[in-house]
Chain A
Amino acid sequence: MGFRYEFRLSGSGGQGLILAGKILAEAAAIYDDKNATQSQSYGPEARGGSSRSEVIVSDEEIDYPKAVNINLLLCFTQEACDKYYKDIQENGILLVDSNYVTNVPEGEFKVYSLPITEIAEKEAGKTLVANIVALGIITELTGIVSKEAVESAILSRVPKGTEELNLKAFNAGFDRAKTLK
């Protein structure tokens, strides 16, 4: 079977994880010309409650659209981290926002713990764009989608008037991740 890469972005409702997933999928499927799906699981609440967004990137048709053997797990809450870290595959990546996740699990995966929300506030001036900062980090850490593709996808998906803010947040995350390698 062909190449298949699974992302799970997890946290709570309102943190922009579904949008981040859609941007990632659009970058891969439209601008990088691979196949990608994004799906989600969330509760009946508009905010709060657990939220999870999954992106599959592949070079062939994607049948099953859910993540089962995660290559990269992003966690914005301790609860999500505790629940999902066991699904990371060997040599996969766990990325956590250290502002929310303090108890980081250990396993056969690489751990990156970064103050994502704090970076959003300091570098872009708004905690709101923490999801986009995380996208920047993910883009650089995984190399699955190109930087240009994600930037194009951000411009097509974020609300009008917030393009600059979001690109700034994306680059802040991307540059921070460079220092980790």
Chain B
Amino acid sequence: MLKRLLHEPLLHFTLAAVAIFVAYGLLASSSERRADDIVVSAPKIEQLAAVFAKTWQRPPSPEELKGLIDAYVKEEIDVREALALGLDQGDTVIRRRLQQKIQFMTDAGADAATPTDAELQAYLDTHPEKFETAAEAGFEQIFLNPAQRGEAIDADATVILAKLEADPALEAATLGDASLLPAEMPPTDIASIGNIFGPEFAAAVSAAPAGRWIGPVASSFGLHLVRVSEHRAGRLPALGDVRDAVLREWTNDRRQAIADERLDALLKRYRIVIEAPEEGASP
């Protein structure tokens, strides 16, 4: 009889309730605030006023502020009553919202975290490919149009090259054919050169010695004579020059990493049982 009584859930409930009441009585006597107090604190009022101001672009009037506070008190009462009745249980929207909030905490963790310069420097060092300025080349080019020159184009290229070699001060732009390709490019990264002239031409420019005319170099448009004015090796910029970009990428990575870590850590605390429907069973 007693044994059965000890297994009775009602008894557990009753005992728990008694315990809570006792604890509550102890706490209440030692504190001036009671659980059924609704305290609208000064920071809370400031927050209500701030939200109002963001919407209406002005602070609330005293009447409006009173309205905001009244609405907050009503909301608080309703929420407490709803929680007491267990209305939050099994509600998909609330479950999703809670999930969202906990994800937000991690996202906010990533967004709010202010990495030190040392951390950013370390990120820069370990992800150079994201920030490296590409190798650049500045050059002049003379375009020879196969449609205009036909079979003679190779011979023409040789002749013009010889002229240029003989007289480096020759005004190069006057020797070639019309195009919309720039005659001179300031130091530009190799990929961008490729976007305009095609990748094979860009590769040739990148390999050409600086300071003298070479060619002919083929592009998808025709032939070119090229004089590289300057090569600039690709380099990893100093943190100060790319701080914003490093911060952007660090935050992106960090957000992902924190989310992954959190899930990994939490997974360890749970035993996951997936009871798959039997094979052949209709879904």
Please say whether chains A and B are actual partners in one complex: no
Q: Which A positions have Cβ atoms within 8 angstroms of B?
A: none
